[in-house]
Structure 1
């Protein structure tokens, strides 16, 4: 049974800081949990500097058409380059530090930063750094579409990397006037990137967020005359309380207090500023 559209939002890139624009969707306002944040960005300068996270996993996925790579640094894996089409996941768990910024100042990079919620039992899992080159992102090609499997599984293929939160994240290039029906978990959303299309009679344009009902087990997307490039995220909500504390996310206030104690004791690692920052 097809899911029903319950919310449609046409967004736009908004200035966030010097050298950074983005379109972001938060679980506080949109029914996307176990995703906590789904954001597309355009970034040309370093913005945040080294900072900690705990209780969540944070993914940066660079668009394959990004003009330049990202530099990723964290206290577990050191320095690496997230090339166009590649990704890096910081499964922060009990806490770690990272920093990300364009490889070359002044060159606009484009991609997604996505936060994934952890269940209460997995808030303090051992931190893990996962890096995936563009060539190692599995792809499934059919007469109608090309599907890049950023995380999870599709069409008999799956990613070698796996977070503690089970989600599927697909980057789909749907050919003009073609359609695709995809089996999903309980929660599902679609985010338009390029071109245009429809789902359940609702139009999908660049930066359109479509949220679906929990009922149903698949969604159908049809592309218009230009084709449609979009992201599909799907997962099962944890149905647990969420306590936010800046870069930390917990299930209870006691967990949040423990995260803050761990940070104050220096137990989330250290990361010095990049020498060119």
Structure 2
């Protein structure tokens, strides 16, 4: 059995549209804090700070161009279609992301992942995974890219500060895939296009629903199936951190004291500038 969270449409002008999954209760998605499934073709967000968690960008292979990512630590990265970039904001960093070729559309996931409490004030750093280094698992009618975590004995080479799994799954019509979820871990599925079934329950982008599987005391295996013309879904799996989440939007910590301190540090310019 699973619950379904509602996706929210979030558009900014003519050049950015998104479906957002952000739990009303921080525990609903823990250790994830929210997901934006978006298309962007022009600069949309000015340089902005993050602190206390990680901001992760994953580009789908159908993106027309890459994402130019830069931050106040001096990192400059072109995230290519199919690649992933993980910014562990820690004590605080300023960053910006724009389409590499303006007017061309990027298709992406912006994933916000909480940091364990003891790492929330650590120095910020970035990790990058090139498209050709993302492992792929092929099954009849199914293709699974594994940019984070593991699936069916295949492991992503990236070792992030919060251990989570991200699977980019393409399903042909009628194709099925067994989806194992370890004991104690939460999983949820976001529709990217088309319609699919999870354990017999149908969902899709048009339904604006994302099934969420609560942590169980024992490992469980669920069944994904493609319907109609097939589907693409993104699967997120992680062990809940079970810590407070106190946020002002771009920053989130387990304590009000650290949130106030980080906000003041940013206002003093201590997180650097682009």
Measured in 1, the distance between the counterparts of 2:14 and 2:232 equals: 28
Equivalent in the alignment of 2:107: 110
Measured in 1, the distance between the counterparts of 2:226 and 2:5 equals: 17
Q: Please identify, of 199-208 and 40-49, the stretch whose mean Cα deviation from structure 2 is larger.
A: 199-208
2:64 to 54, 67, 75: 67
Q: Secondary structure at the match of 1:15?
A: coil
- By how many angstroms is 1:7 displaced? 1.8
Measured in 1, the distance between the counterparts of 2:79 and 2:9 equals: 22
Q: Does 1:27 align with 2:23?
A: yes
Conservation of the 8 A alpha-carbon contact between 2:5 and 2:23: no
Equivalent in the alignment of 1:208: 209
Q: Secondary structure at the match of 1:262?
A: helix
Note the alpha carbon deviations across 1:176-229, whole angstroms, 9 max, x for none.
212111222421101111222211332121253111222353321111242221
Measured in 2, the distance between the counterparts of 1:8 and 1:49 equals: 29
Measured in 1, the distance between the counterparts of 2:260 and 2:16 equals: 31
Structure 1 segments (4+ residues) deviating >4 Å: none
What are the equivalent positions in structure 2 for 1:17-96 lying under 5 Å apart? 17-29=13-25, 31-96=28-93
Equivalent in the alignment of 1:275: none
- By how many angstroms is 1:85 displaced? 0.8
Measured in 2, the distance between the counterparts of 1:12 and 1:108 equals: 21
Note the alpha carbon deviations across 1:37-93, whole angstroms, 9 max, x for none.
111111111121211111010011111101111111112343221111112111111
Q: Does 1:199 align with 2:198?
A: yes
- By how many angstroms is 1:143 displaced? 2.4
Conservation of the 8 A alpha-carbon contact between 1:18 and 1:47: no
Conservation of the 8 A alpha-carbon contact between 1:169 and 1:233: yes
Q: Secondary structure at the match of 2:87?
A: strand
Gaps of 5+ in 1: 272-277
Conservation of the 8 A alpha-carbon contact between 2:54 and 2:115: yes
2:125 to 113, 125, 128: 128
With normalisation by structure 1, the TM-score equals: 0.90
Gaps of 5+ in 2: none
Conservation of the 8 A alpha-carbon contact between 1:144 and 1:180: no
Note the alpha carbon deviations across 1:92-130, whole angstroms, 9 max, x for none.
111111100111222222111010011211211221111
CA RMSD of aligned residues (A): 1.8
Equivalent in the alignment of 2:146: 149
Conservation of the 8 A alpha-carbon contact between 2:63 and 2:106: yes
Aligned length, in residue pairs: 267
